[in-house]
Amino acid sequence: MGLIHILHLEDDPADAELVQAKLEAAGLTCQITHVQTRAEFDKALRQDNIEIILADFHLPTYDGMSALRLAQEVCPDVPFIFVSGTLGEDAAIEGLTEGATDYVLKQKLSRLVPAVKRALHEAENWRERQRAEEELRKLSKAVAQSANMIVITDIQGRIEYANPRFTETTGYTLDEAMGQTTQILKSGHTPPEVYQQLWKTITAGKEWRGEFYNKKKNGELYWESASISPIKNADGVITHFLAVKEDITERKRAEETRAKLEDQLRHAQKMESIGRLAGGVAHDFNNMLTVIQGYCALMQDQIPAGDPLLADLNQIRRASERASTLTRQLLAFSRQQVLAPTVLDLNELVANLQKMLGRLIGEDITLSTVLQPGLWSIIADPGQMEQVIMNLVVNARDAMPTGGQIILETDNVYVDASYAQTHLEVPIGPCVLLVITDTGHGMDKPTLARIFEPFFTTKEQGKGTGLGLATVYGIVKQSGGHITVYSEPGQGTTFKIYLPATESPATPLTPPPTQLSTRTGTETILLVEDDEMVRHLVQRELQAEGYTVMEANAGDKALALVKQHEGEIDLLLTDVVMPQMSGRELAEQLKELYPQMKVLFISGYTSDSVVRRGLLTAEIEFLPKPFSLGKLASKIREVLERR
């Protein structure tokens, strides 16, 4: 023992000295505060370092019982021993009952040292218990208020304790969980190998960390992260297991959402890259196909009827037309078509297509429509929307070789920001929703990941080009919309198309036909085309039609040419994409010189020129490559005669 701080209430100095001598003789190092009156005793009690109190029972101005009661009030944890020469049995019992630790008669001071030592030892033990209990209370409070689930089980996994967070999360009360194994939380979605590794780890005395996909009492699934450790006794034997768990469902959902968005972004970037490649290929092919088709037409006009060469030319023409279809589909996928958008009622378009679609799918497939009354209008190219619907319906038909059902639905929907957070490129706000569902064989995940890629097809060789859904994808995207697909093997397929709505009223789908003149040309046309073969072909055809043709292979040469021209220029026929100066820039400069001049743009590639440079307006006339010479002549007359 170290230095012992003692408060001694004693009116006889001789007795006080005797007590001190007894303690020091026993080897106890003491610092004794000696007091004789109530006031001195009261003041000394307030000192923080008092470890034990010794008190006489009878004093001239005070008494021991009063001192005991005061000590119990001020410092109840400090041992109190009566040291008196006149303490009867009744008084001793009363003192012990009131809280005294012990009593020693002055006639038997031999008991003093053992009594002091025992009192100090018991006081220390009591304080240790108090500290332990306080720590236990703090721990119990922390466990009860923990944001994590805390579960204690026996070595068989039976629950012996669970904190309130456990009951809040799982829905099981403590009474319901007590005695049950943690298997009541099993959902069947956590692989058995996880549990095997868990038991192998904790029964070996080690900590296990992992995740479970568990099930609550009400059947709801949730994710939890768990740390499970063995609890050992003093001999190192495992007696219990402690599990600290956290509900990580929201985090898991956020991770899944992030992974989904990353997949969507990668897919969008891949589709964009493929689109750029496809657009570039289509541009070059369209120039070549324009030349092939044009010279085929010129040669057919010059070869006598019945000549075998006509059949050969016809085969060339048919092959070039099929190639033209492929390039148009590639341009549609790469969002480089020239659209003629109008304010459109999708219900009217679906209704007009219904008979044609019925003939496409055959009698063994039922086609039904569920059209939302009062459907909002959209801004889209009617012909392209028809192509979207027909492609999806034909695709659905091919997925049901033994028959089935196709449902076309329309609806007004509002796409909010929360939906857009998990669906890249979806338009936010009021949208018209087009849904096409079939009961066909469905698709697996690897197929779903590639269905919009050009030339990807699951059909037999010769049964499909793999451009149908790619075309749908490009048209929807170029129209400002978004397309999703849900499918499972054997469960059919559902395509959903979201198109931005407009408040403008829809225009009729069948405008009156324009009556064109059949007369030949007499006007002056400035032809600007950087592809030499296309330019020579078009020049030859226009001259044959009676037009005066000025031709140049670039914008700067065209400007130099018109400076030497004294008359009017009635029409500028120009490619859009050319080196140094675009067709739009050329048209703007020439319009200053010839305000009445009409303009007709031609191009086989429109990505950066027509769409992004503002050419797609009602005032712009555009003829996409490849075109026939007859189509070119007709379009020129249409432009020239339009007021």
Highest mean pLDDT among 79-88, 228-237, 380-389, 502-511: 228-237
Per DSSP, what are the bridge partners of residue 572? 526, 599
Tokens of 161: 């304790």
Range with the poorest average pLDDT among 38-52, 206-220, 465-479, 615-629: 615-629
Residue partners of 479: CB distance under 8 A and separation at least 6: 339, 341, 378, 379, 380, 381, 384, 385, 499
pLDDT band at 267 (very low <50, low <70, confident <90, very high): low
Once rounded to an integer, what is the mean pLDDT over residues 236-245? Answer: 91
Which residues, 6 or more positions from 458, have their beta carbon under 8 angstroms from its beta carbon? 443, 447
Say what percent of the chain tops pLDDT 90.
Answer: 24
Contacts of 452-456 with CB under 8 Å at 24 or more apart are 452/271, 452/333, 452/483, 453/270, 453/271, 453/274, 454/274, 454/278, 454/329, 454/330, 454/333
**Rounded CA separation 255/258 (Å):** 5
Q: Which CATH number does 146-247 carry?
A: 3.30.450.20
Instruction: Name the pLDDT band for 641 (thresholds 50, 70, 90).
Output: confident
Query: What is the rounded end-to-end Cα distance, in angstroms, of the chain?
Result: 117
Question: Looking at the DSSP assignment, which residues form a beta bridge with residue 497?
Answer: 434, 483
Sheet order of strands, 622-624 included: 548-552, 524-528, 571-575, 598-603, 622-624
pTM listed for this prediction: 0.46
Residue 337's pLDDT is 55
Which has the higher per-residue pLDDT, 121 or 297? 121
- Quick one: average pLDDT of 200-216? 92
Q: Is 84 helix (H, G, I), strand (E, B) or coil?
A: strand
432 phi and psi angles, rounded to 5 deg: -100, 130
In the DSSP assignment, the letter for residue 58 is: B
Sheet strands (E) in 11-167: 30-35, 52-55, 80-84, 102-105, 149-154, 159-162
Q: Is the pLDDT of residue 52 over 60?
A: yes
| Neighbouring C-alpha atoms within 13 Å toward the C-beta of 182 | 26
Q: How many CB atoms lie within 10 A of CB 170?
A: 25
DSSP reduced 3-state for 515: coil
What is the SS3 assignment for 516? coil
Kindly report whether the peptide bond that precedes residue 626 is cis, defined as omega within 30 degrees of 0.
yes
Residue 607: its pLDDT value, please? 47
Residue 609 banded pLDDT, cuts 50, 70, 90? very low
Per-residue pLDDT band for 512 (boundaries 50, 70, 90) equals: very low
Name the range with the highest mean pLDDT among 109-118, 300-309, 513-522, 607-616.
109-118
According to CATH, where is 3.30.450.20 located in the chain?
146-247
Domain range 4-140, CATH class: alpha beta
Instruction: From 606, 614, 638, 636, select the one nearest 286 (Cα to Cα).
Output: 606
pLDDT, one tens digit per residue, over 619-639 is 578 887 778 888 888 889 889
Within 10 angstroms of residue 515's Cβ, the number of other Cβ atoms is 7
pLDDT tens-place string over residues 337-369: 555 678 889 999 998 888 888 887 878 889 999
Model pLDDT for residues 60-93, shown as the tens digit of each residue: 888 888 999 999 888 888 999 998 887 777 787 8
- 543-575 as b/e, with b when 16 or more CB fall inside 10 Å? eebebebbbbbbbeebbeebeeeeeebbbbbbb
Quote helix, strand, coil % in the chain, to nearest 5.
Answer: 45, 20, 30
User: What is the 8-class DSSP label of residue 512?
Assistant: P
Position 409 pLDDT exceeds 90 = yes
CA quadruple 351, 356, 361, 366: dihedral sign: positive
> Does residue 270 surpass a pLDDT of 70?
no
> Each residue of 412-456: pLDDT tens digit?
999 887 777 767 668 889 999 999 999 998 888 888 888 877 666
Where does the chain hold its CATH 3.30.565.10 domain(s)? Answer: 342-502
CA of 642: how far to CAs of 255, 530, 633, in Å?
Answer: 59, 27, 14
Burial of 63 (0-12, 13-18, 19+ CB in 10 A): middle
Q: Report the pLDDT value the prediction gives residue 614, as an integer from 0 to 100.
A: 43
Specify whether the backbone of 422 is left (phi greater than 0), alpha (psi in -120 to 50) or beta: alpha
At 101-149, the pLDDT tens digits run: 888 888 888 889 999 999 888 888 888 887 877 776 777 676 777 778 8
Q: Where is pLDDT greater, at 201 or 284?
A: 201
In the chain, ranges of CATH 3.40.50.2300 domains: 4-140, 524-641
Q: Is the predicted pLDDT of residue 201 greater than 90, yes or no?
A: yes
What is the arithmetic mean of pLDDT over 193-205?
A: 91
- % of the chain exceeding 70 in pLDDT: 86
* Band of residue 530 on the pLDDT scale cut at 50, 70, 90: confident
**Mean local confidence (pLDDT), 206-230:** 92
Examine the pLDDT at 336 and tell me if it is beyond 70.
no
Mean pLDDT of 596-610: 71
Task: Give 33 or 138, the one with higher predicted confidence.
Answer: 33
The pLDDT score that the predictor gives to residue 455 is 66
Of 336, 337, 324, residue with least CA distance to 289:
324
Q: Is 481 exposed, middle or buried (0-12, 13-18, 19+ CB in 10 A)?
A: buried
Strands 429-438 and 404-415, by their bridges, are antiparallel
CATH class assigned to 524-641: alpha beta
pLDDT at 268 over 90: no
Q: How far is CA 236 from CA 78, 205, 232, 240, 241, in A?
A: 37, 9, 5, 12, 13
CATH of domain 342-502: 3.30.565.10
Residue 276 has pLDDT above 70, yes or no: no
* Contacts of the segment 198-202: beta carbons below 8 A, 24+ positions apart: 198/228, 202/228, 202/229, 202/230, 202/241
